[in-house]
Amino acid sequence: MARVVGITEENATPEVKELFQRQRKLFGEPLNTTPVIALRPTILAGSAALAAGIDASGLIDPPLKYLVYTKTAWINGCPF
């Protein structure tokens, strides 16, 4: 059982709805952390900025990015 109930797409702001749709297109469904992070717009913005900074750094080859995400989730016992 989840400790924090995340926002639903029906109750989300237009920006969060767009994020849900983007993630659905990329991954088949929104990531399981998105509804919780989206409860606080400042946390959502910070999370997006962190991801953009990692992408812009060039430290991870784009073809390997999702492999890194998957491996990190696996190591931490999180479904991806």
Please list, in sequence order, all residues whose beta carbon lies within 8 angstroms of the beta carbon of residue 52, skipping any fewer than 6 positions away.
Answer: none
Distance of alpha carbon 66 from alpha carbon 63, whole angstroms:
7
Ranges of each domain in the chain:
9-75
Closest CA to 51 of 36, 39, 34: 34
pLDDT at site 78: 80
Neighbours of 4 (CB within 10 A): 7
pLDDT digits (tens, 9 = 90+) for 32-43: 889 999 999 899
Q: What is the pTM of this model?
A: 0.70
